[in-house]
Amino acid sequence: MERRSPPRNASGIEAVVFDYGGVIISPIVEKVAVLADRFGITMPELLEVLLGPRESGDHPWHRCERGEIDVADIQGLLGPWADAAGLDLHGDEIDVLMDPTYSVLDVVVERIGRLKAAGYRTALLTNTFAEYRPTMQQVVPFDHFDAIVESFEVKARKPERAIYEATAVMLGVDHSRILYLDDFDQNLRPAIELGWSVVHVTGPEQSLRELDRLVPLD
């Protein structure tokens, strides 16, 4: 692939890396919050049951994101986490989370295309499942990215260090020249340790303001 000359900016950034959920589409925590109302508990409490703790481990959601099991296996393996939280799951929770209803943040998708056209290297870095790839391809043109880094393919998931190192290799950019946007703060820590610049995304307007500041296009 022909390497484009990076644009000049005060931050020295040459590549911009985007998370998917919560950055390009509406965050999954919105669906978790709806399910939490069902049980009368908080969203963070149910998030740990369904998606696992902040650190990577052997939770079935984590295992599926690393490509170790199928999505269809997750629900049946949630028992220990549900029991620890005192919950009697209904059996449809993963189906609710995987339902393809979401809001596409078109202003962010448009900005990704503009960044690439301006000469920045771009990447999609996401914890995801093999079964979900066709849905992602309908949301954002994959040709917007110089690298597509999916957890199930690299057999590592955020916040495991290996997936960040793989991203830098695929981009061909030094860690110190990378800017990363993610809505989960635990996923930013390994990037910071490697020398990446980061944006903790709280919404599309805020993420665009940070992009304007760090990688201006005008």
10-63 pLDDT, tens digit each: 789 999 999 999 999 999 999 999 999 999 999 999 999 999 999 999 999 999
CATH number of the structural domain spanning residue 193: 3.40.50.1000
Indicate the residue among 46, 68, 98 that finishes a domain.
Answer: 98
**Quick one: 119 and 169 in the same domain?**
yes
| DSSP assignment of 43-64 | HHHHHHHHH--SS-SS-HHHHH
Choosing from 43, 75, 98, the residue where a domain stops is: 98
pLDDT at res. 114: 97
Residue 69's domain comprises 29-98
Q: Do residue 48 and residue 149 come from a single domain? A: no
Q: What per-residue confidence (pLDDT) applies to 192?
A: 98
Which token pair is 217? 């296009």
Closest to 127 (Cα-Cα) out of 170, 100, 96, 164: 164
Residue segments in the chain with a per-residue pLDDT below the cut of 50 = 1
Report yes or no on 182 lying in a domain. Answer: yes
Q: Are residues 20 and 55 in the same domain?
A: no
Residue with tokens 């020249």: 177
Q: Is omega for the bond preceding 134 within 30 degrees of 0, making it cis?
A: no
Residue type, 3: R
Domain termination site, one of 54, 81, 98:
98
Does residue 202 share a domain with residue 122?
Answer: yes
Q: Is residue 166 part of a domain?
A: yes
For the entire predicted model, the pTM comes to 0.94
Total of domains in the chain: 2
Same domain for 117 and 90, yes or no, is no
Q: Is the same domain home to 152 and 108?
A: yes
Q: Are residues 22 and 40 in the same domain?
A: no
In sequence order, which residues have a C-beta less than 8 Å from that of residue 134 and are 6 or more positions away? none
